[in-house]
Every structure is written in C-alpha cells, then in structure tokens.
Amino acid sequence: MKSIKPYWWLVWCAAAWAVVFVVKLFPAQIEAWYSRGIYLWVSQAQRWLLGWLPFSVGDVIYACLCLWGFYKVFRIIWRMWQRTATKPVWLKNLKFSIQLLTGAYLWFHLAWGFNYHRLGSSHQLQLLPNAYTLADVDTLTITLNQRLRLLCADTASLAPLQQWSQTQMLQQGLLGYSRAAQTYPFLSYGVASVKPTLMGKAINYFGVLGYANPFTGEAQMNYTMPRFLWPYTLCHEMAHQLGYATEAEANLIGYLACKANGSKPFAYSVYAGLQGYALGDLYATDSILAAQRHAETPSFLTADRKKSSRFFKQFQNPFEPLIYGFYENYLKANNQPLGHKSYNFVVAWLIAYAKKYGWESL
C-alpha cells in the first residue's frame, strides 16, 4: 500500500481553501474580528512599512511575477519541444502551481479579501440600500445637478484642480478623511500609502483610474488621466485601503471624504462622478427623462467630459473585451454579482442616505 505522506501538501491546500470558504459565511464575525480588528493592524503595518517608499512595491511584485510567469511558460514550451517534459516534471510544476496559488489565495484574504464579505456600510452607517423608484433617481440627479451648477458658477474656485501637485492632492485627501472621521470615527485613515502607478500612461490601455493592491496595502493612482477625476478616484482608493472592498461602498465612503474635505475642487470631482452614475441609472429606466437631466449638466462639466472622452479614446485597443471580461469575473467572484454595474450601486446608497438625512444633506 502506497504511503499518503507525499500527498499531505494537497490535503493542507484543500483545507486552506475550505477554511476560507467557511469563514466567508459569517459576515458579522468578519466585521467584528477581521475588518474592525485584524485588518486594521495589518493594513496600518503595510502602509507604515511601504508608505514612505516613492514607488509602488506592489507594481514591482506584479511585474516580477509576470516576467517569472513568462519564463516558466517559455521553459515548459521549450521542454515540450525538446521532449524532456516528462510526467515527473509536469507533476512537479503542477504541485508548485497549486501551492503558490493557495498561498496567494490565503494572503489575499488575510491581508484584505475578507472585507468583501463584511457587514460594512449598512452596519456602520445604519443605511439600508433598498429598492428605489424612478422618482428617487430623478430627485437624486436633480440634486446633483443643483450642486454642480453652484460649483460651476465660480470656475475660478476650481482652478486648484489644475495646480495641485500629486503630494498636495494626497494631503487634501488625507484632510477629507480626517474631517470625515470627526463624524464617523471608523474613517480614521492613519499612515498614507498612495503612489503613482509605475505603468504610466500605459495603464490607460486597461481603462484603469486607480487601484488598491490587496497584497501590499498600497493604493495606486493614474495621474495621467484628466485632473477633475483625481479627487474622487483618490478618495475611492483610500476607502479600499480602509477595508471597504466593494466598489459601491468605496464610492460611498469616497463621497463622504470628498464632501468632508470642504474644498470646491473635491466637491466638483465627486458630484461629477456621482451625477454620471445617477444619469446611467436613469437612462436604463427612462431614456427621455435622462436626456432631459443630461441637458441640465453645466457646460463646464460637459467640456471636461468631452476632454476626458478624447483622452481615453486614444487608448482604445482590441484587448479591451478581454480586460473587461476578466475584471467582470473578478468582481462577481468577490461578492459583487452585478459585476461592473456594482459601481453604479452607489446610487442606492445615496438614495438611502438622502432618505435618512434629507436630500439637502447631499
């Protein structure tokens, strides 16, 4: 009878995946023990260790893994060509791949991923993003348009958007979270670790504005994109670093931080972003009404959006459907069944917020 000892590694890998699966079934415990406990220590340690570095360690790791992966694939193809890819070689590579994938899967969840399954904003803010009506979305859109008209009436006050450096922008983001934490203590941010992506303009071929690295705790910004997108994107990624993993919640928390900042450039950025989501929701239900509300968009914002559209159009490429599909499946695999539409679910959060505190609170 063959010994099962050589296969213990497979048992441990299977056990690790099983444990993660079971833990995901207990959002209340995740909220109390992980998101408001373990994760706070892990994330602060990551940002304290890596935040002072001027480059993204996560980007470097990703680049090294890609190069290593290409090397391994080339090596396997070469062995197949040389007819040296024997069964023991295949089994060795399979074993290593399973162990590596299991290790990455565990660290992903321990360092950040369990946040996808927490109670989150509905628990902390006592908000229930329930079903809403067309009238609710219309009221939201009208409210956002009113805010934008007031902001765009004084375009000189928006000038800092074109003047702030990356460092100044981050300082403003930290200010927003510091002020938001006075009302919501759980939004206390701490040590900063927000950096420009090492991909430069190439990141635009992926259609990415910013991203948080779940393995290193860093947030990366695409500083090549139009500047009016900077503040809301920054606060969105910082929300991810605080453990708000789903895109809708990161949009909601990013909104609270931008609003708390108190500056008109941050208000303009966040209201422009939210109006886009509201109009998208409105178009899906009543395109005629949506067109009417869209026509009420201030000309200053319309001009910014046209510039943004021209900017991103130059990076369109045939691989976009593959990139879109990959990210769509990633979102769905991580407790966001709406996929890309998860971003738009911030509309439900805003309506719930407005119904609790009044539309004027937006």
Strands of 156-313 (E only): list them.
194-196, 210-212, 219-221
The helix/strand/coil state of 60 is: helix
Among 117, 147, 176, give the residue marking a domain's end. 117
Q: In 3-state terms, the chain is what percent helix, strand and coil (to 5)?
A: 75, 0, 25
Rounded distance, CA 35 to CA 243, Å? Answer: 7
Q: Does residue 4 have a pLDDT over 90?
A: no
Closest CA to 231 of 304, 176, 154: 176
Question: Are residues 143 and 190 located together in one domain of the fold?
Answer: yes
The helix/strand/coil state of 24 is: coil
- Identify the band that residue 316 occupies on the pLDDT scale cut at 50, 70 and 90: very high
The model's pLDDT over 177-187, given as tens digits with 9 standing for 90+, comes to 999 999 999 99
Question: Are residues 323 and 210 located together in one domain of the fold?
Answer: yes
* Ranges 45-49, 66-70, 142-146, 244-248: which has the least confidence: 66-70
Average pLDDT, the chain: 94
Q: Are 181 and 192 in contact (CB under 8 A)?
A: no
Q: What is the pTM of this model?
A: 0.95
The model's pLDDT over 201-214, given as tens digits with 9 standing for 90+, comes to 999 999 999 999 99
Rounded distance, CA 209 to CA 230, Å? Answer: 8
Among 88, 117, 146, give the residue marking a domain's end. 117
The model's pLDDT over 211-225, given as tens digits with 9 standing for 90+, comes to 999 999 999 999 999
Q: Does residue 98 have a pLDDT over 80?
A: yes
Q: Are 348 and 120 in contact (CB under 8 A)?
A: no
Strands of the chain (E only): list them.
194-196, 210-212, 219-221
Question: Are residues 136 and 109 located together in one domain of the fold?
Answer: no
Question: Are residues 74 and 129 located together in one domain of the fold?
Answer: no
Question: Are residues 198 and 326 located together in one domain of the fold?
Answer: yes
Q: Does residue 226 have a pLDDT over 50?
A: yes
Question: Are residues 91 and 196 located together in one domain of the fold?
Answer: no
Domain count, the chain: 2
CA 263 remoteness from chain centre? 23
- Provide the domain limits for residue 104: 5-117
